């Protein structure tokens, strides 16, 4: 399941980068910074990524999740800081 989540995140970031043409997203790894200090996305692009992820997660796992809720926004370290943290956060939401 975790590898599929990573694959979905990578696909969504790749698709989004076709519009953004951000060099930091040309090669996406688990350490790729998404949002925050030195992150590849601004807040508008992050909203787009979240919408895409929620849709693809729902299709793949037949489970509706909300990524941008109070729980995510109130964490000391943002789940949106890099690919690894986002995949771990999504995994926790799916398995609940």
Domain of residue 33, CATH code:
1.10.1200.10
Q: Which two tokens stand for residue 5?
A: 């989540």
- Give the total number of structural domains in the chain: 1
Work out the pLDDT band at 70, boundaries 50, 70, 90.
Answer: confident
Percent of residues, the chain, with pLDDT higher than 70: 100
Q: How many CA atoms lie within 13 A of 40 on its CB side?
A: 23
Q: What is the pTM of this model?
A: 0.93
Work out the pLDDT band at 3, boundaries 50, 70, 90.
Answer: very high
Q: Which two tokens stand for residue 61?
A: 């796992």
Length of the chain in residues, anyone? 96
* pLDDT for residue 12: 98
Domain that holds residue 58: 2-95
């Amino acid at each position: 399941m975790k590898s599929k989540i990573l694959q979905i995140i990578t696909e969504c970031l790749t698709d989004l980068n076709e519009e953004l043409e951000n060099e930091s997203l040309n090669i996406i790894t688990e350490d790729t910074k998404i949002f925050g200090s030195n992150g590849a996305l601004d807040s508008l692009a992050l909203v787009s990524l979240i919408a895409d992820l929620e849709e693809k997660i729902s299709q793949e796992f037949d489970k509706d999740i909300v990524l941008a809720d109070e729980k995510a926004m109130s964490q000391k370290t943002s789940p949106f800081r890099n690919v690894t943290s986002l995949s771990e956060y999504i995994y926790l939401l799916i398995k609940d």
